[in-house]
Amino acid sequence: MAEERLRVDALVVGGGIAGMQASLDLADQGYHVALVEREPSIGGKMIALSKVFPTLDCCSCITTPKMSAVAHHENIHLFTYTEVKTIEPNGGSYLVHCVEKPRYVDTGLCTGCRQCEYACPIDLPDPFQMGLSAHRAIRVPFSTAVPQKAVLDIDHCLLCGKCEKACPVDAIDFTQGPQDLVIEARAIVLATGYETTPRDAKAEYGAGKLSNVIDGLMMERLLAPTGPYLHVLRPSDGKEPDSIAYVQCAGSRDETLGVSYCSRVCCMYAIKQAMLLSGALPMADITIYYMDIRTFGKGYEQFYQNARAMGIEFVKAKVGRITEDEYRNPIVRVEIMEEASRVEERKHDLVVLSVGMLPAYDPRPLYGVPIAEDGFVEAACPNIAPPMTAQPGVFAAGTATGPMDIVDSIVMAGAAAAEAAAYLERHDGEAKTYAGRSISMGEKEAIHA
Amino acid sequence: MNAKEKARERTTALKRLREEHAETVARTQALLKEQQAFRKKLRAAMKGGPKTIPQIAAASGLPSDKVLWHVMAMKKYDMVREVGRDADYYQYQLAEEVAE
Amino acid sequence: MPEKKPKPETPATFARLPKEAPRLGVYICYCGGNISDVVDCERVAKVLGEQPDVIVARTNMSMCSDAGQAMIEEDIREHKLNRVVIGACSPFLHEQTFRGTVSRAGLNPYYYHHVGIREQDSWVTHDDPEGATAKAIRLMNAGLAKARHLEPLEPIRLEAKKHALVIGGGVAGLRAALDIAERGLKVTLIEKTPFLGGHMAQLESVFPTDEEARPALHELIEKVVHHPKVTIYTSTVIVATKGCVGDFQVQLRPVARGVRGVAPGIQAAIEACPVEVPDEFNYGLTRRKAIYFRYPGCHPPTAAIDWEHCTLCGECAKVNPKDIRLEREMTTFQITVGAIVIATGFQPYEPRPGEYGYGEYPEVVTLPQFIRIMAMAEDAGELMWNGHPVRQVAMIHCVGSRQVPGVHEPQPDGKVNDYCSRVCCTATLQATADLRRRFPQIRIFDLYEDIRTYGRGHEEYYRQASLSGVRFLRFHTEQGPVVIADPTGEHPLVVKVNDYLTWGEELEVPADLVVLAVGMMPGPIEDLIDVLKLSPGNDRFLLEVHPKLRPVETAVTGIVLAGTAQSPMNIQESCAAAEAAASKVAGLLSQGLVELEPFVAHVDLGRCTGTGACVDACQYEGAIQLETRVIDGKEVQRAVISPAICVGCGVCVSACPNRAIDVQGWTLAQYEAMVAAIAAEIPALVEVEA
């Protein structure tokens, strides 16, 4: 097949909230955008959260419309389960070589009915539920996934063919292989997001081996209406916890982990979760061990004060060690930093590590975009033009540029869109906005190399 | 492409996948076996009415964290239902028993 | 190329489709449990499915998801639905989403009605599942009744002026102006004072890069000033606006600068001025004349007359009669713009007299003042203040921020500043680092509640401060520090503080200088709030339409926020917000067309008798007017709506004695049908409601 290219004005890498917003902000201005997401669905980390601070909006209620808007926007070409492999400069634009991974499911036929998923015999830890529950080797990634199509994990597949038999529309297709595609883009927005501190990062906190010491994202799932247990229960034995503790800065402001920076979101998400927990478990005692409470955003300090008024206990303390007793209750050894500095051991039913944000992606090899000491994208002009990188035509948005919350990610995405638009206009020359051939699922082959 | 060619292509593809993924398929088969053995004990322990996770763990001798994970997996695919509550714990029951 | 100008269309001109029998699709959303945890959605669907005209009634875990929307689209096509009713969250959240769904399936998007059964039902009736289910059925049934009366509508399409107004010439306004101009749109930037640059010009360096503030600012100013798409008016304010997104008519009132051009010899004219006033550039630490430059190298590089303090004595004009004209007034003028960016900035919190000794002791200064003191200080030897060498400095955080009712005295409006000002922690520690570097012998005490060095590179200032021997003391809000005169006379002041890092004991910190890390308050923009009908929040900063998802838009479409008018931000954050605001403006205007909701008044000319009651009742100038028409050879008066100005408030509907006016999409007939349906007997509910 002759190589055909999709020519667009801008390529957005990453379909989390920042990438979606940057795509929408560019597409609304009339630019043609290709959005490339390596996971089988867009939505990023945000779609897995329970509720957002400080509005307490249900997260899926406010993320799904963005996902839907991206999927339906006439100027956005969405590529999921697709990774960027190489990039070459092409006289004022970039040739971006991508590979669409095989889903082993014909997305043109699949209706997302999940009968294949029910037929599949193997249960695997579901990353969407942070491993707290299971999914199958073939599955629709989650109930609000976009696209709402099944994907088969070949590395955990028995190749037993049960899904094939179950599928009412014959969508399972073992003949699929990786598909190369080439996108020519005049500007690039990196929205590659973040990872959280691994739960096993700190030996002092049990190195991930204590089942009742979970992290913030796991608690998000426990609190979410589509969560693994549909209740807040502790993972060791399904007990509804009476006493829950948060350990702040578990992975941030910690030189021993090489992370000297503050992750910005952990204070607020811990307070938010504490508030949601006191709603879900009105009798539970909730304690937050912290160094400094950093509720700096708009309305955040008031949110913190409300949490204090609700009876959530805030203790300025350093947590030195977490162990467990024979009933697997976590024992937290704290150095209380106020009044008489003293060391105490406190028992809780469940401990949540307020893990921090780490860079998820190194943009140097492919994009030539430098990173700073902290591992996040280095801005070329951080104060006046925050999304601009040293690489011409390449901009960065959201947590690729450092820890930030959803609202700041949305602002940064809008800023990146503005920078990219200005760049496109400056380098317009004779070439006008690319027509960006509109492609439907069925037509997709046309642009594959 | 007619149906015959399609079927042939599928067989070839599956054969190739089986060769390329021999190792992962074997590993997954081992995992499945382990899971089936676990489930057998779990189901036996769950028989006879609503039980909490610690009760199922005690009856089966299986570790309670793993019991919880499997019960939740079975609940997701409608093999187990949550049916009530006992103090700090929820109770679960096999779906076929609930239906009876 | 001449642009194709679409004619503004009015909904009244749309042909009504012939009425067909209603075929209703009813959808009830679980909202991921938000609704279904309380409301028995399946039961609601079952009862509604039995109502007349209902073809399908379905539920979904998340109707707004792609799968939910696809289901609705498929139903519309397959079952030839011509009305859709969705029971879900508030229409505020998803009405637009589902309009898109309905429209993609080929149905007029206004053949859809949204019923809020989350905010109006499951969230507020959560302790009574039976009652909540019954309520959902009633609300939905009323929705069905309305749906049977729905009419197809078209959005009002207006030509959008490819021209934006930016209010405020600080870093956020400049940044927004540049981005909008780069996008190819015209920009008018107005600044109330005679000079550009805002508060950033008063800084020496910017955290976290420690780059020099003014060169970075001047580079931006140069780009904006020389951009062919940008027009700048200094000393100019808005006095009135009319219109809506795409077409705001704005009245601007400039004040004369009094000085023309570079004006050679202007320095001599400034020296001749006999008036001296506190110089706001140095926060009152120094004095300036009534004809002045803001600072050497300021923009524009033309002096200006401070009319508030000028006595019109004419001394300056005697020195330079050619370039100085002591005439203040200028005529107002009008511009028409498609969108407005509010970048009116902040003002530092002004401690009330006596607060931590401010205004009482000259050794108590604010952080912005301290930054100016450091800017003016010579590096050699000792830092002198008020005639004494400074040996000990105490920094006090959270002055005018994180205030608690009952502990702190309220502001004149009766409220305390309960918010965090976000920038002061890092700004204080940056100033501390500067002090430590230039005057290493000075001992520094830092009195704080929480250190919030949250940003990239901010924590480094905190770490360095700790390493360099800055002594941190943590106070509790209820026991804030107290500043008094040093009874021993060794230092001018003593700060008494209960330090909770060590037993909560009272410590006494002698100090030669006390620096108050004051927070931010929004600039004084009451007039602008009035003119543009903006909404300030409880913290007095301007409100965004959704604090999470739509952070730079206001409730008024076409008016966006940039920078600290919205909330405290540092320079980086202000620039990012300004760029995001520019994106929104470009999204609105770059297509040259804006669409407005058609929910505006509509006059039935068959019933209108020209009483004019509607015109008298209308609160929106120009929204409804009487026009002379000839009917049956007689000249009569008839009401005519301007759809772009009408907001659909419905006051005219109630004022009309002939029932000749209706708000489209919310007609009297629709309301009556809904009321009847709410009160109707629903057999399935008899038992529940008994």
Q: Where are the domains of chain B?
A: 3-99
Give the DSSP per-residue string, A237-298: T-BPPSEEEEEEEESSSBGGGTB-S--SSHHHHHHHHHHHHHHH-TT-EEEEEES-----ST
Q: Find the CB nearest C452 among A30, A58, A292.
A: A292
Give the least confident one: A56-60, A410-414, C624-628, C668-672. A56-60
Longest dimension (CA), chain C: 99
A411, C576: Cβ pair inside 8 Å? yes
User: Closest to B90 (Cβ–Cβ): which among A155, A157, A231?
Assistant: A231
Indicate whether A201 belongs to any domain.
Answer: yes
Same domain, A10 and A73: yes
CA distance A364 to A391: 10
Neighbours of chain C (3+ CB pairs under 8 A): A
Distance CA(C282)–CA(C288), nearest Å, equals: 10
CB distance A301–C577 less than 8 Å?
no
Is A333 among the domain residues? yes
Please, how many CA atoms are within 13 Å of residue A284, restricted to the half-sphere of its CB? Answer: 26
Q: Are residues C176 and C301 in the same domain?
A: no
Across residues A366-381, what is the average pLDDT?
95
Residues of C in Cβ contact (< 8 Å) with A60 = 32, 62, 65
Give A390's pLDDT tier (boundaries 50, 70, 90).
Answer: very high
Q: Within this chain, do residues C563 and C445 fall inside the same structural domain, yes or no?
A: no
Query: In the prediction, which pLDDT does A210 show?
Result: 95
User: Shortest Cα distance from B100 to chain A (angstroms)?
Assistant: 22
Cα torsion C467, C470, C471, C477: sign: negative
Burial of residue A398, with CB atoms counted within 10 A of its CB: 0-12 exposed, 13-18 middle, 19 or more buried: buried
pLDDT > 70? residue C331: yes
Contact A294 C450 (CB under 8 A): yes
Mean pLDDT of A127-149: 94
Give the span between the Cα atoms of C668 and C602, in whole angstroms.
Answer: 12
What is d(CA A148, CA C70) in angstroms, rounded to the nearest whole number?
Answer: 10
Among candidate residues A296, A323, A356, the one where a domain is terminated: A356
Query: In this complex, how many residue pairs, one in chain A and one in chain C, have their CB atoms less than 8 Å apart?
Result: 237
In a domain, C555, yes or no: yes
Domain span at C652: 601-663
Residue C272, helix vs strand vs coil: helix
Minimum CA–CA partner of B32 in chain A: A122
- Residue C243: the pLDDT is 86
Residue C573 with chain A: CB contacts under 8 Å: 408, 411
Least CA distance to A292: which residue of chain C? C450
Predicted confidence band at C647 (pLDDT cuts at 50, 70, 90)? confident
Task: Examine the pLDDT at C13 and tell me if it is beyond 60.
Answer: no
Touching pair C, A by Cβ (3+ pairs < 8 Å) = yes
pTM of the model: 0.90
Q: Specify the DSSP element, H or E, that contains C45.
A: helix C41-49
User: Looking at the structure, do residues A19 and A87 belong to the same domain, yes or no?
Assistant: yes
- A366 lies in the same domain as A427: yes
> Which residues on A lie below 8 Å from C463 (Cβ)?
260
Average pLDDT of chain C, as a whole number: 92
Q: Is residue C554 pLDDT above 50, yes or no?
A: yes
d(CA C139, CA C123) in angstroms, rounded, equals 15
Give yes or no for residue A145 having a pLDDT over 70.
Answer: yes
Band of residue C530 on the pLDDT scale cut at 50, 70, 90: very high
What percent of chain C lies above the pLDDT cut of 90? 80
| Closest residue on chain B to A177 (Cα) | B13
**Chain B residues touching residue A103 (CB < 8 angstroms):** none
| pLDDT band per the 50, 70, 90 thresholds, residue C19 | low
A157, A211, A239 member nearest B89 (Cβ): A239
Tell me the pLDDT band of A191, cut-offs 50, 70 and 90: very high
What is the pLDDT at residue C671? 93
Flag if C420 and A301 touch (Cβ within 8 Å): yes
Q: How far is the C-alpha of C67 from the C-alpha of C27, rounded, in Å?
A: 13
Quick one: average pLDDT of A316-343?
Answer: 90
Q: Do A242 and B70 touch (CB under 8 A)?
A: no
Residues of B in contact with A175 (CB under 8 A): 9-10, 12-13
The number of CA neighbours under 13 Å toward the Cβ of C556 is 26
What pLDDT does C689 receive?
65
Please indicate, yes or no, whether residues A288 and A377 belong to a single structural domain of this protein. Answer: no
Task: For residue A142, give how far its alpha carbon lies from the nearest alpha carbon of chain B (Å).
Answer: 12
Least confident of B1-5, B12-16, C510-514: B1-5
Hey, are the CB atoms on C65 and A144 less than 8 Å from each other?
A: yes
Structure tokens at C680: 């109707």
In this complex, which of C216, C474, C549 lies closest to A384 when CB atoms are compared?
C216
C440 C-beta neighbours (distance < 10 Å), count: 9
Please name the residue that has the structure tokens 């000319």: C605
CB contact under 8 A, A174 and B29: no
For A58, the closest chain C residue by CA position comes to: C34
Picking from B13, B35, B89, the nearest residue to A174 by CB comes out as: B13
Q: Which residue of C has its CA nearest to A418?
A: C583
In a domain, A161, yes or no: no
For residue C626, being part of any structural domain is answered with yes
> Cβ contact (<8 Å) for B64 and A237?
yes
CATH number at residue C564: 3.50.50.60
Residue type, C335: I
pLDDT computed for residue A447 by the predictor: 39
3-state secondary structure of C559: strand
State which of C550, C574, C593 marks the end of a domain: C593
Last residue of one domain, picked from the residues A314, A330, A356: A356
Q: Which chains touch A (3 or more CB pairs under 8 A)?
A: B, C
Residue of C nearest to A374 (CA): C456
Q: Which residues contact C314 (CB under 8 A, 6 or more apart)?
A: C326
Chain A residues with CB inside 8 Å of C454's CB?
262, 264, 294, 296
* A234 and A295 within one domain: yes
Give the per-residue pLDDT at A439: 35
Query: For chain C, how many structural domains are there in total?
Result: 5
Read off the pLDDT of each residue in C608-629 and give the average, rounded to a whole number: 91
CB contact under 8 A, A408 and C503: no
Q: Which of C34, C67, C206 is opposite residue A225, by nearest beta carbon?
A: C34
Between chains, do A407 and C591 touch, taking CB under 8 Å as contact? no
**Angle A42-A43-A47 from CA coordinates, rounded to 5°:** 150
Q: Is the pLDDT of residue C30 over 80?
A: yes
- Low-confidence winner among A291-300, A401-410, B65-74, C621-630 (lowest mean pLDDT): C621-630
Q: Give the pLDDT of residue C501.
A: 85
CA C66 – CA A269 distance, rounded (Å) = 27
C282 and C413 together in one domain: no
Which residue among B10, B13, B25 sits closest to A158, beta carbon to beta carbon?
Answer: B25
Q: Give me the pLDDT at residue A4, please.
A: 63
Query: What pLDDT does C9 receive?
Result: 38
How many Å lie between the alpha carbon of A123 and the closest alpha carbon of chain B?
7
When divided into structural domains, chain A yields a total of: 2
Instruction: Tell me: pLDDT of B1 over 70.
Output: no
The predicted pLDDT at position C61 comes to 84
Which pLDDT belongs to residue B85?
94
Nearest residue in chain A measured CA to CA from C405: A305
Query: According to DSSP H, which parts of C391-482 are helical?
Result: 424-438, 458-467
Enclosing H/E stretch for C626: strand C624-631
Q: What is the pLDDT of residue A436?
A: 38
Same domain, C643 and C684: no
The predicted structure's pLDDT at residue C3: 41
Instruction: Tell me: pLDDT of A2 over 70.
Output: no
- If asked whether residues A205 and A331 sit together in one domain, one would say yes
Domain span holding position A184: 5-101+178-193+360-447
Alpha-carbon span A364 to A223, nearest angstrom? 37
Q: Are A209 and A259 within one domain? A: yes
Q: Which residues of A touch B53 (CB under 8 A)?
A: 237-239
pLDDT at C681 over 90: no
CATH number at residue A63: 3.50.50.60
Question: Domain B3-99 maps to which CATH number in 1.10.3720.10, 1.10.10.10, 3.30.2350.10, 2.40.50.140?
Answer: 1.10.10.10
A134 occurs within a structural domain: no
Q: Do the domain assignments include residue A204?
A: yes
**pLDDT classification of B2: cutoffs 50, 70, 90:** confident
CB-CB contact of A421 with C182 (8 Å): yes
Identify all chain C residues contacting A194, using CB atoms and an 8 Å cutoff: none
Q: Which residues of A touch C458 (CB under 8 A)?
A: 262
Closest-CA residue in chain C for A43? C65
How far apart CA A410 and CA C549 sit, in angstroms, is 7
Which residue from C minimizes the CA distance to A74?
A: C104
Q: What residue in A sits closest to C174 (Cα-Cα)?
A: A384
pLDDT of amino acid A126: 97
Q: Domain boundary residue among A356, A384, A412? A: A356
What average pLDDT score do residues A267-296 get?
96
Quick one: pLDDT at residue C329? Answer: 86
Between C32, C463, C539, which is nearest A58 by CB? C32
DSSP 3-state assignment of B47?
Answer: coil
Q: Are residues C531 and C499 in the same domain?
A: no
pLDDT tens, residue by residue, C400-457: 999 999 999 999 999 999 999 999 999 999 999 999 999 999 999 999 999 999 999 9
Alpha-carbon torsion (A236, A237, A239, A243), positive or negative:
negative
Residue A446 predicted with pLDDT over 70: no
CA distance A24 to chain B (A): 35
Contact A143 C67 (CB under 8 A): yes
- Which chain A residues are Cβ-neighbours of B24 within 8 angstroms? 154-157
Residue A173 lies in a domain: no
Greater confidence, A31 or C11?
A31
Residue type, C403: Q
Chains touching B (at least 3 CB pairs under 8 A) are: A
Q: How many CA atoms lie within 13 A of C53 on its CB side?
A: 19
C446 min Cα distance to partner chain A (Å)? 15
* Digit-coded pLDDT (tens) for A406-434: 999 999 999 999 999 999 999 874 343 44
Do A36 and A182 have their domain in common?
Answer: yes
Query: Which of C501, C60, C83, C569 is CA-nearest to residue A143?
Result: C60
Name the domain boundary from C538, C566, C593. Answer: C593
- The label of the residue with tokens 């190194």 reads A362
- The full DSSP string for C208-255 is TTTEEHHHHHHHHHHHHHT-TTEEEESSEEEEEEEEETTEEEEEEEEB
What is the mean pLDDT of the segment spanning C360-376?
97
Q: Is A283 in the same domain as A393?
A: no
Chain A residue numbers touching C569 (CB-CB < 8 A): none
Out of C462, C490, C521, a domain closes at: C521
Of the partner residues B31, B54, B65, the one whose CB lies closest to the CB of residue A235: B65
Q: Which residues of A touch B (CB under 8 A)?
A: 117-118, 121-123, 132-135, 137, 154-159, 161, 174-175, 211, 228-231, 233, 235-240, 242
Give chain A's mean pLDDT.
91
Going by beta carbons, is chain A in contact with chain B, meaning 3 or more pairs sit under 8 Å apart? yes
